[in-house]
Structure 1
Amino acid sequence: MNDITFWKRNFVLLALGRFVSILGSSIQAVAIPLFVLDLTHSGTAVATMSIAYMLPRILLMPIAGIIGDRGNRKFLMVSMDFLRGILICFLSFLAFRNAITLSVLYVSQVAMAVMDNLFDIPTGAMFPDIVPEDFLMRANSIMGMVRIFPQILGPALGGMIYGFYGIAIVFLVNGVSFILSAISEIFIVYRQKIEKKPSHFKQILQDLKEGFLFIWNHSLIRTILIFALFLNLLISPLFMVVYPYTIREVMKFSAQEFGFLETSFTLGALFGNLLIASYLSKRNMWKAMKVSIFLFELPIVFLGVLVMPDFSSSVERLVLFMMFFVTFLIMGFLNPIINVPLDTAFQKMTPSHIRARAFSFLVLVANGVTPLGSVLYGYLVDRVSIHFLYYTVGVLSFLIAVLLLVALRGKELPT
């Protein structure tokens, strides 16, 4: 479908574009909550800003999947980067004129959620088509590193740029980063066979049904998806709700220490992706993934040990901090060794013409249970001992991992 002789150039152009745009987004992601707090002095306003982005992002994901399979994926990728750049540059213009209001930010968050979907889903479906199958594992791990580097640099730059120059410059930097990304993507060579279909409501429902049925009728993908749903319900909101509460309220670590612990997970993920790209991609990643699934639950249980009052009070503060740092470093390291093989297997098992819809359903299921888990942990965190929560999640996750590997016994992912 695509001229494979262009794959190296395509990959470099896509990687460079993603690096620049993710760096800009990481800078803005830190500055926006600070700006909203300075503007309103309200934690509720910050939470509402997140909801204004998350709700349309989750609800419209299947529609983005249909568009990603029906539409020109390269056009969607380039146009969404240009449109996001123009929107954020317009916010910069308003900020220079002191015309930014909370309502403007809410509307821009909704618009960004829609455009992010129309970029991420088609681009994710397009990626396996521009990279040779035997390089796909390494390509996914390299793109993982491309996403991680700006996430390390972005928060520090975002705080400094906002502190010294204000939100207008933050918006300008991010807007320009999207436009530069779009310019680099223009030169990607990608040929896509688009099936012409009517656009009436029944056909849209049929397209949604096809994407869902592909996942449900594929026994391997269905099995992994069901177990991933329960693991995401337990683990993702644990680190969104319980972990910040643990670090700031229970352990009384400073904001700077909290930032270093956040960085430790990211550094671990960087090392994990580097190991995949340089060594593991040439070995049996299926075995490495199975071992990592088992190992991932151990640090969660160990966090329960660290937050036990008897233990934490008997250890020097610096030693305790380093224990947390190493624990998150290990978890970050294991994360890509689990996720990269799963992503690669899904890409290989899913035909291009239905990949965007199938991908959108997978992401919807993974992200859709996170708010439910967040509400649950928000209720439990004030009523249950923190160490007990970590123990419970660690043990339950371990049991789910065991059941998953039993269900996959005798099967091997196409990694």
Structure 2
Amino acid sequence: MQRKATFHLYTFLVSKTLSTLGANVYAFGMSLFILAMTGSALSFAANLIFSIIPRTLLSPVAGLLVDRVSKKFIVLSGQLGTILSISCLLIYMTFFDISLPAIYLTTFFYTISSTFTTIAFSASIGNLVDAERIQKAMSFNQLSLSIAGILGPMIGGMLFGFVSIETFLIINIVAYSLALLLESTMNFKLFSSTESSPKESMVQSLKSGIHYIKEMPMIKNLMYLLLWINLFFTSITVGANFIFVNIIKMEYQLIGIVEAASAIGMLVVSIYFAVRSNIKYPLLFSKRAVLALSTLVGTFALPLLIPMTSTIVFIYYLTVMFLFGGSLVLTNTPIGIMIQKDVEENFRGRIYGIIEMFAMGLTPIGTLLFGLLYDVIPAQFILLFCSMALILTTLFLMPRRLIETAYPDLSGPKAKTINPTSPPFR
């Protein structure tokens, strides 16, 4: 079982990297293709909507099915659905000219398939590896995201410039097929603690999932926190390029380097998690990482308040984006570890599904809201307000007493003794 767990660990890394890289390459390449074909930002935004809405609406449904059906079946079916979606677009292009409706339809079904695969895989990590390897598995998950974040735009841009759209799609199909083959070799019940799926209706299953969340204040508050985090973090998603292009007038090549720094920060911190000892207090670790992230949102405003040379501005934002990417991993990895260890196996799918819905729920609203606000309010005021709102929200939803409830030894006489496996910043 230990050898199999090690095999799962590295198979998971390779298959997840292939899938995530394929998704990033496809998203980047198709975005360029839509813009080149139509020249319309609205057409580009419409494709984004077709990738956000299905994921937001179907995440809870995917979570329900993951807790009721074989996780391996859902993972493989989702990967197969992704391959079929892209293959159908390729077949359509062979007989007809490419069209926007065909691309939108492909994005719609592609997103549905990837939603089921992602949630099933996330809920399966505790079944694929033993407890001692969960932190490494979660760090490998973040590692795959950071590798894809760095290489995806590079490969997508190269393929878009040098190969036909048909060849581009074929390369994506091959990448997903390899991931499918690797995942088919994995035993999704290796460390399973349940004998069978719960005998209840879908409605009862959803109700029991909601009741389970209500009985766990940590999870409930965490979900509310994710909802507000993703709303206020949209100020960076929307505002970063607005600041770089419209206010600072940074060169486009330098903007690409600055944005890549975030993925490099994710990569470095993911490697750190893969080699360090297990975190003793994951929720406390994540709380501090969120506070660091919230502070970084405010630091984006500093060059807008204090005059700096263009070179210093570039170095400053390069550093901030690197820290921002690293802090994201510092936030997400401990949360994943906590869910894998503290949530019962029969509820993990529903928890991940609801978390995904909360994480995506306010993103479209935030994108529209901050898109409007940046046109009428100075960017530095928006960023400082969001930073303070994030800090206050985090302190309110993750108070000290909730952390001590999760980790009783923190409130005891030994609370002031720093464990060597506890967070590096306390």
Q: TM-score, normalised by structure 1?
A: 0.91
**In 2, Cα distance between equivalents of 1:42 and 1:377:** 21
1:399 aligns with 2:396: no
- Separation in 1, partners of 2:391, 2:342: 27
1:303 is matched with which residue?
A: 300
Cα distance in 2 between the residues matched to 1:125 and 1:351: 10
8 Å contact kept, 2:18–2:179: yes
Aligned to 1:195: 197
Aligned AA (1:376): L
Matched, 1:359 2:361: no
Q: Which amino acid in structure 2 is aligned with residue 366 of structure 1?
A: A
- Aligned-pair CA distance for 1:379: 2.2
2:206 paired with 1:208: yes
SS of aligned partner of 1:315: coil
Determine the structure 1 residue equivalent to 2:317.
Answer: 324
SS at match of 1:382: helix
2:382 aligned partner: 389
Moved more, 374-383 or 263-272: 374-383
1:264, distance to aligned residue in structure 2 (A): 0.6
Cα distance change of structure 1 residues 4 and 45 upon mapping to structure 2, 3 Å threshold: same
CA distance in 1 between partners of 2:315 and 2:276 (Å): 28
Alignment of 1:157-172 (within 5 A): 157-172=155-170
- In structure 2, the residue matched to 1:119 is 117
2:88 corresponds to: 90
Paired with 2:198 and 2:211, the residues of 1 have a C-alpha distance of 21
Q: Helix, strand or coil for the counterpart of 1:60?
A: helix
Corresponding residue for residue 242 of structure 2: 245
CA distance in 1: counterparts of 2:287 and 2:80, whole angstroms? 41
Question: Counterparts of 1:36 and 1:69 in 2: how far apart (Å)?
Answer: 38
Q: Distance in 1 between matches of 2:227 and 2:19?
A: 29
> Is contact 2:224-2:358 (8 Å) kept?
no
Q: Aligned equivalents of 2:403 and 2:15: distance in 1?
A: 40
Deviations for 1:246-273, whole angstroms, at most 9, x for unmatched residues?
A: 1211122233222111111111111111
CA distance in 2, matches of 1:186, 1:239: 39
1:290 deviates by 4.1
Residues paired across the two proteins, number:
404
Change beyond 3 A, Cα 1:65–1:285: closer
Kindly indicate whether the alpha-carbon contact (under 8 Å) linking 1:345 and 1:413 is maintained by their aligned counterparts in 2: no
Note if contact 1:31-1:158 (Cα within 8 Å) is conserved in structure 2.
yes
Alpha-carbon distance in 2 for matches of 1:280, 1:378: 42
1:50 is aligned to 2:43: no
What is the CA deviation profile of residues 53-82 of structure 1, one whole-angstrom value per residue up to 9, with x for unaligned ones? Answer: 211111111111111111111112122212
Deviations for 1:166-186, whole angstroms, at most 9, x for unmatched residues?
Answer: 322221111111111001111
Partner-residue secondary structure (3-state), 2:377: coil
CA–CA separation in structure 1 for the residues paired with 2:278 and 2:198: 38
SS in 2 for 1:188: coil
Residue 410 (structure 1) aligns with: 404
Alpha-carbon spacing, 1:315–1:218, altered in 2? closer, same or farther (3 Å): same
Aligned to 2:257: 260
Whole-angstrom CA distance in 2 between matches of 1:413 and 1:100: 56
Equivalent residues of 2:282, 2:335 under 8 A apart = no
Which deviates more from structure 2 when the two are superposed, residues 282-291 or residues 216-225?
282-291
Deviates more, 1:281-290 or 1:246-255: 281-290
Cα distance between partner residues in 2 of 1:241 and 1:287: 29
Q: Which of 216-225 and 288-297 deviates more?
A: 288-297
Q: Deviations over 1:134-156 (max 9, x none)?
A: 22112211221122112211111
For 1:187, the aligned partner's letter is T
| Contact in 2 for aligned 1:162/1:169 (Cα 8 Å) | no
Deviations 1:361-401 (A, max 9, x none): 11111210222222221221111110001111111212223
Q: Structure 1 stretch 338-347 or stretch 4-13: which is displaced more?
A: 4-13
CA contact (8 A) 1:61 1:361 kept: yes
State the alpha-carbon separation in 2 of the partners of residues 268 and 92 from structure 1.
36
- Please tell me whether the aligned partners of residues 52 and 109 of structure 1 are also in contact (alpha carbons under 8 angstroms): yes
Tell me by how many angstroms 1:221 deviates: 1.2
User: Could you tell me how far apart the structure 1 residues matched to 2:212 and 2:395 are?
Assistant: 26
Structure 1 unmatched ranges of 5 or more: none
1:344 CA displacement: 0.8
In the other structure, the counterpart of 2:413 is: none
Structure 1 position 160, deviation (Å): 0.9
AA of the residue aligned to 1:335 = L
AA aligned opposite 2:86: I
Aligned to 2:343: 350
| Distance in 1, Cα, partners of 2:230 & 2:407 | 20
Return the match for 2:267 from 253, 263, 270. 270
Give the AA of the match of 1:54.
I
SS in 1 for 2:278: helix
Provide the residue aligned with 2:415 in structure 1: none
For 1:138, give the aligned amino acid: K
Which of residues 132, 142, 145 is equivalent to 1:144? 142
Quick one: distance in 2 between partners of 1:16 and 1:90? 26
Which one of the candidate residues 289, 294, 310 is aligned to 1:292?
Answer: 289
Alpha-carbon separation, structure 1, partners of 2:27 and 2:150: 12
Q: Quote how far apart the aligned CAs of 1:413 are.
A: 5.8
The change in CA–CA distance for 1:133 and 1:286 in structure 2 (over 3 A counts) is same
- After superposition, residues 22-37 of structure 1 pair within 5 angstroms as 22-37=20-35
Comparing 50-59 and 291-300, the one that deviates more? 291-300
TM-score by length of 2: 0.89
Post-superposition CA distance 1:214-253 (Å, at most 9, x none):
1122122112222332222212x11221222112111222
What displacement does 1:325 show? 0.5
